[in-house]
Structures are given as structure tokens and as C-alpha cells.
Amino acid sequence: MEERLYGDHTMADIDLAAVERRALDELAAACDAAAAAAWRARYLGKKGEVTQLLRGLGVLPADRRKQAGQTANRLRALLQEAFDRRRALLEASSPAPSAAIDVTLPARPHRQGHLHPITLTLREIERAFRDMGFAVVEGPQVEWDEYNFERLRIPADHPARDMWDTLWIDYERDGRYPMLLRTHTSPMQIRYIERHRPPIRVIVPGTCYRYEATDATHEWMLTQVEGLVIDEGISFAHLKGTLEAFVHRLFGPDVEARFRCDYFPFVEPGAEVAIRWRDGRWIELLGAGMVHPEILAATGYDPARYTGFAFGIGVERTAMLRYGIDDIRYFYDNALGFLEQF
């Protein structure tokens, strides 16, 4: 049997719940008797939407007609009741037509969002380095193996290339895995050196990805801030002074920073920086080191003239320490109860 068109729809695809929601929303917005009366005509009047809808039921096959009829009748009764209540309310609250809008009513509270704790922390880190004369630049999150690994002197058999650590975009081509989600922000060291001449003083904030099982201190998505300084006469003392200034700026002048040897293929010597937290524990915050002379030479810099240092700060770690959060997974859970505390 042909179903008659109702507006642009057949009876069968009218979403009564949507009609109900729309009608009730509009009724709630009707703030005087005239608006309420117009609403009533629109939905329940002779030519009203719901009235028309009920009329249209006749074209449905008998088995569907009964059920659709009950639902539509329930909707009509519900809207009629809502209208009666609304009218009573409007009459009670507007004794005189001129007082239809009560301007003395307190405004409804407005829900307002705010920045995510990682964004807040990132901005603080950026401010700290901007004040030390660093520029802020960004790089691509989808990288070539060449930048993420090869040119950072991370050889093909390095464990970081293992598929368990890296999310590959282009898994295999010519027997190689050339495109990936960057596992750190260090590829921007190469990209930046390629296109600029010293003096260089930049930080690179950004999201990185690792194919890891998550736990309290590891997430598959993380934020880093890379730093790169290259000029004549840059020494390890500059690295130390800069990172100590950063630690004191973010965590207070009394927090101790510990530098220990660490290995990263793209720096020499390499270091890790940990801070001593309130409970006496040392907590690793970042990796750093002097830019490897081979990297400078490979990009056309004379390593006898130019030296530099680089570092990579874990932003989630920094935020956890600043706010006293013991599980990294809270950040990306989208739980308002957590986020509203910032």
C-alpha cells in the first residue's frame, strides 16, 4: 500500500521523539501568553503538526496504524498537559502584561569550559622558554623514518624501531617501513637545522605516539617539548644552566635537579634530568645532551665552529608533578570530574 507523504516524509519515518523534543523546547522558550498560544496552534491546533500527524495515520496498514496511533495520541496528550502547565505558570508569573519578562530574575548559570591541564602546562613551559629567548615552532606528527630515526643516528636494529614501539602508517614498502607517527619531537631537530642557519634557539611542542601498553606512567599518546640551541661556543654549561632555570621556574627555586649520564644516539654526551620531589624520590623529567657532531656535519654545519644542545621534556610527566597526579591515564579519559578540578 502506498503511504501518503507527510511533508517530506512518509508517516513511517516521522520521529515522534524528535517532534516531542522540539515541541517541548519551543514551549519552554515561549515566555508570554501570546507565544504560548502560537505554539499551541502550531502543534495542537486544527492545522497543527500533531493534529495533521494523527490525521495521516489512516493511510498506514492496519497492523502499524494501531501502534502509531497510540504513540501519537500519547504525544498529543503529553503536549496538551505541558501546554496547560506552561500557561498556568505564565499566568502566575505575569500579573500584568507589561511584566511579562521579569528582568529581576537571576540569570541561569552558564556552563563554561576551560583549558585542559596539558594545555595549561604546555603554555607554562612555553612561557618559561620564551622568556629565555626561545622561539616556538611546530612540526608534523606524521613523519618519515628518515627524520624520526635514520638521521638521528638511530640505526635500523635499534629497539625503538620495533613495531612494538612505533605506530607505522605505511607499514611496508620496498621491504621498508618509511612512514610513521613520530615517537618523539626530535625529528624537528633535523628539519630545523636543514632550513636555518645558527644562531638557533627554538622549542618544539607537540604530540607523539608510541605503540605501548598503557600504565600509570605510560600512554600511547604523549606530549613533548623539544629544545634546540646551536651557536658558536655553546657548551654543556649552557645546557645545564638553561634546564636548571626551567626546573626552578616550573617547580620553585628549592627543587633540586639531578643530571646523570644517559644514552641517546643523537647527542654526545647525553643526560637525563630528574627532579627531587617532595617525598624525596627522584623523578625523570627529560632527556638532553650536546647535539652529536655527526648530525651537525651531515647537515652542512662545521662542527669545529658550531656546537649545540638539545632536550626533550615530557609534558604529561611535568603536569603530573605540578598537580600531584599519580596516573597519566586520567588526562585522556575525558572524565569531567577530573578535568573540572583545574
| Sites of contact with ligand PHE (CB under 6 A) | 184, 186, 264, 267, 270, 287-289, 310-312
> Is residue 289 a contact partner of residue 269, using CB atoms and an 8 Å limit?
yes
Q: Catalytic site residue 210?
A: yes
Q: Is 107 exposed, middle or buried (0-12, 13-18, 19+ CB in 10 A)?
A: exposed
Taking the C-alpha atoms of residue 3 and residue 35, their distance in angstroms, rounded to an integer, is: 34
Q: Catalytic site residue 19?
A: no
Least Å distance, CB 289 to ligand PHE, is 5
Cα-atom radius of gyration of the chain, to the nearest Å? 32
Cell digits of residue 110? 552558564
Q: Which is nearer to ligand PHE, 48 or 265 (CB)?
A: 265
Q: Which is nearer to ligand PHE, 56 or 289 (CB)?
A: 289
Is beta strand 257-261 parallel, antiparallel or unpaired with respect to 221-232?
A: unpaired
Q: Catalytic site residue 80?
A: no
Q: Which of the following is catalytic: 210, 257, 288, 319?
A: 210
Q: Catalytic site residue 224?
A: yes
> Is residue 216 a contact partner of residue 329, using CB atoms and an 8 Å limit?
yes
Least Å distance, CB 143 to ligand PHE, is 12
Taking the C-alpha atoms of residue 99 and residue 208, their distance in angstroms, rounded to an integer, is: 59
Q: Which of the following is catalytic: 50, 267, 273, 288?
A: 267
Q: Catalytic site residue 184?
A: yes
Q: Is 217 helix (H, G, I), strand (E, B) or coil?
A: coil
Q: Which of the following is catalytic: 39, 224, 271, 315?
A: 224
Q: Which of the following is catalytic: 161, 182, 184, 292?
A: 184
Least Å distance, CB 244 to ligand PHE, is 16
Least Å distance, CB 297 to ligand PHE, is 18
Q: Which of the following is catalytic: 271, 310, 315, 319?
A: 310
> Is residue 44 a contact partner of residue 83, using CB atoms and an 8 Å limit?
yes
Strands (E), the chain: 5-6, 9-10, 135-136, 142-144, 168-170, 179-181, 200-209, 221-232, 257-261, 267-276, 282-291, 306-314
Least Å distance, CB 189 to ligand PHE, is 7
Q: Catalytic site residue 52?
A: no
Q: Which is nearer to ligand PHE, 48 or 205 (CB)?
A: 205
Cell digits of residue 81? 498537559
Q: Which is nearer to ligand PHE, 310 or 321 (CB)?
A: 310
Catalytic residues: 164, 184, 210, 224, 267, 310
